[in-house]
Amino acid sequence: MAKSDDLAQIITNCKNDNAESFSQLVDIYARRCYGYFYRLTGNSVISDDLLSELFVKLVEKIGSYKGGSFEGWLFKIASNIFHDHLRSKQQEKKLLQTQENLFAAQLTKTKHSEGEQIDKLQMQIGRLDADTKELIILRFYSQLSFKEIAAIRSEPIGTTLSKLHRGLKQLRELME
């Protein structure tokens, strides 16, 4: 991980539209952000799209970053992108249901594209409710403190800890 001084310098350069510095940010964060999207969606194609969208958004919004935890800011954008994706997916589902067409089956097929193996963690984490799942994944991939996670989720830290405690207990039981 980049040292905070180095990261601050990279971000300053990014604010000056330096393409090389944006490339450095991609190198630093692409893997963690991709993991975050992959564990949330379980789909590499969708994760590819969301990751691309995240970095395009980063270019657009870098000027609005006013200091503080950069990871917190970045994962807040990532979380918003994921929620936008969920909303559009729900709309898509509704559309498919009302039209009762063949594409529904194809969509299910493409969910797990060719040769993609779902690991045990992906399967078990999918059994958790959406909110708890997102919380656990956000914590691991963002490496943010609970205080920062609570701030991203706009909820009191006690609520975040309680949800996490229940969710992790459930996940541990599922994985055993």
Partner 1 sequence: MNDQNHENLKDLFERFFKPEQAEEAANDVHKADQIFREHPAPGPSDKLILDIKAEIAEALSCRKARLLRKSLYYKAAAVAAAVIVLAAISIRLFEKETTESKSPATTASMMPKTIWEDDTVTTYGGTSAIIAAEIEEIEGEILALQLGENGGNEHINMMELETKLTEINGDFWKG
Residues that bind partner 1 (CB under 8 A): 17, 19, 22-23, 26-27, 30-31, 34-35, 38-39, 44, 47-48, 51-52, 55-56, 59-60, 119-122, 136, 139-140, 143-146, 157-158, 161-162, 164-165, 168-169, 171-172, 175
Of 23 and 106, nearer to partner 1 (C-beta) is 23
Question: What are the distances in angstroms from CA 33 to CA 30, 78, 156?
Answer: 5, 8, 24
Look up residue 139 and give its two tokens: 């914590």
Closest contact distance (angstroms) between CB of 64 and partner 1 is 14
Candidates 88, 74, 58; CA nearest to 138 is 74
Given a contact cutoff of 8 angstroms between Cβ atoms, the answer to whether 57 and 77 are in contact is yes
Nearest CB to partner 1, comparing residues 53 and 104 = 53
Q: Alpha-carbon distance 19 to 73, whole Å?
A: 20
Closest separation in Å from C-beta 172 to partner 1: 6
Min. distance of Cβ 53 from partner 1 in angstroms? 10
The residues, any chain, with a CB within 8 Å of residue 78's CB and separated by 6 or more, are: 33, 36, 37, 50, 54
- Between 100 and 176, CB nearer to partner 1: 176
Closest approach, Cβ 134 to partner 1, in A, equals: 14
